[in-house]
Amino acid sequence: MIDYHIHTNRCGHADGEAVDYVRAAINLGLDEIGFNDHLPLRGDSGKELGLAMALNELPDYVNDVMELRKSFPEIRIKLGVEADYTPDTESYTKALLTKHDFDYVTGSVHYIGEWAFDHPGERKKWDNKDVDLVYKEYFELLRKSARTLLFDIIGHCDLVKKFGNRPSHELLDDLEETAKVFKECGVAVEINTSGLRKPVHEIYPSYEILKVYKRFDIPVVFGSDAHTPDEVGRDFDKATTLAAEAGYDEYVTFENRTMKSHKLDSGKSIHC
């Protein structure tokens, strides 16, 4: 099994050095992990805000992952990165991503306009929002993020539900349109277990959404979104069961931005 969404203390809101996450993954018997720390923000404000590593730390992050790869041959270690998607930072992100040889890039929508809708400090702003409109805008941003072709994986692709806000109507049209764009753009989606640790208490994406993605044959990866070493591989028994129930019998990995499929053995759970 793989865990493709692992942060480190460089981002300013996670605990533990990269090596601690590797040791946790080896203890769990994972075959492969991918570091997916937050890409420096435009204007280099991420460190100060506790959201991402500083720009000058990016080469060190890359070197750390390369060194760990040599030190721990018993597990495959991939170099990923989680890049925020906002329409106005597209060219900045594009330029930064060319500087290093990532195995994969996860594109994540955490902002609608200036609003960090999933940030606990911004949660109160939900009170004045039209939830249906927020969902519409969110899925539109997901489609836009895929269309940039900057990303291999679209991260936690119903994060908008994090605090339990739900739309008043079925989203099927929006979901199908989104799945169609994902297919055209060749991206995978992530089954991210961190939602189970958030107010919504649900994996990202939900079973209903994952079924739509399966119908459009969108590949999946697995990620814990670990921000502490003990979160590595967390709830992966639930994630693999969800994938199997939605009809998936394969997952994918990435190397040098090339996707490869593997058989999903949902019966082989890891102990965590």
Cα–Cα distance, 74 to 86 (Å, whole number): 37
CA separation for the pair 232, 21 (Å, rounded): 7
The CA dihedral of 111, 114, 119, 123, to the nearest 10 degrees, is -120
Cβ distance to Zn ion smaller for residue 106 or 253: 106
Q: How far is the CB of 179 from Zn ion (least distance, A)?
A: 20
**By CB under 5 A, residue 86 contacts Zn ion:** no
Q: Give rounded-to-5 percent helix, strand, coil for the chain.
A: 45, 20, 40
Taking a C-beta distance cutoff of 8 angstroms, is the pair 258, 227 a contact?
A: no
State the Cα–Cα distance between residues 16 and 228, nearest whole angstrom: 6
8 lines the binding site for Zn ion (CB under 5 A): no
Shortest gap between Cβ of 126 and Zn ion (angstroms)?
18
Regarding 224 and contact with Zn ion (CB under 5 A), the answer is no
Q: Work out whether 192 is an interface residue with Zn ion (CB under 5 A).
A: no
Instruction: Read off the tokens for 12.
Output: 């300013």
Determine, following the binding rule CB under 5 A, whether residue 108 of this chain makes contact with Zn ion.
yes
Residue 253 in contact with Zn ion, rule: CB under 5 A? no
Site for Zn ion in 44-63 (CB under 5 A): none
Q: How far is the CB of 207 from Zn ion (least distance, A)?
A: 21
Q: How far is the CB of 234 from Zn ion (least distance, A)?
A: 14
List residues binding Zn ion (CB under 5 A): 108
